[in-house]
A and B are shown apart, each in its own frame.
Chain A
Amino acid sequence: GNSVTQMEGPVTLSEEAFLTINCTYTATGYPSLFWYVQYPGEGLQLLLKATKADDKGSNKGFEATYRKETTSFHLEKGSVQVSDSAVYFCALSVGGYQKVTFGTGTKLQVIP
């Protein structure tokens, strides 16, 4: 089956620190990969995506590169802000619209 593994949280960083949230996956077939973000009291929002190997998704200073050889899609940001505090979900889709698998989420807390 398909699965997504994310690093356990919470992750606590000081403002302007470098962020990495690890995500690895297993999939039957060639998945598309996503990062979603959930701010407190809200639903999930698509942050970025990549649909083929070596693609880099980017948005709002966040980046993730689709690494087929290591089955990974790690999320990075060079300088985090307090407003980035949220829960981040890695996800994949393969084999159809109903076949989306989410990771368990990683809570990020950025302190001033």
Chain B
Amino acid sequence: ETGVTQTPRHLVMGMTNKKSLKCEQHLGHNAMYWYKQSAKKPLELMFVYNFKEQTENNSVPSRFSPECPNSSHLFLHLHTLQPEDSALYLCASSQDTGSSYEQYFGPGTRLTVT
């Protein structure tokens, strides 16, 4: 596998369910990101991790719980979600040093909350 992979690609869950999204990067990067992409809204940065340490949390509700066990893997644990949480969740990675920090994205998980 190369690049950034995400599983599952599609997920339908009820508001009382608990599920997890998984992201894995094979690029040797140190920084990983979760974004939320909703229709007709700008890309929303949710969390940033660097070497397993969370460095950004953009006021995300506690029903979203990230986990970064190592610099290659990132999870997003979901529980008691709301219908408005339905969106495409994108994972990305980048270097944390250098001059330009271009990000490499996975294909996303399309989440539907019923």
Give complex CA distance A96, B103 in Å. 12
Counted as pairs of residues, one from A and one from B, with CB atoms less than 8 Å apart, the total is 58
Whether the pair B100, A43 counts as a contact (CB closer than 8 A) is no
Chain B nearest CB, measured from A107 CB (Å): 11
CB distance from B93 to the nearest CB of A (A): 10
Binary contact track B98-111/A, C-beta < 8 Å → 1, others 0: 01111111111000
Task: Say yes or no: A32 contacts B101, CB within 8 Å.
Answer: yes
* Distance A32 CA – B41 CA, assembled complex (angstroms): 23
Partner of B48, one of A32, A46, A98: A98
- The answer on a CB contact under 8 Å between B90 and A44 is yes
Task: For B29, give the chain A residue with the smallest CB separation.
Answer: A97
- List B residues at the A interface (Cβ < 8 Å): 4, 6, 31, 41-43, 45, 48, 50, 55-56, 90, 92, 94-97, 99-108
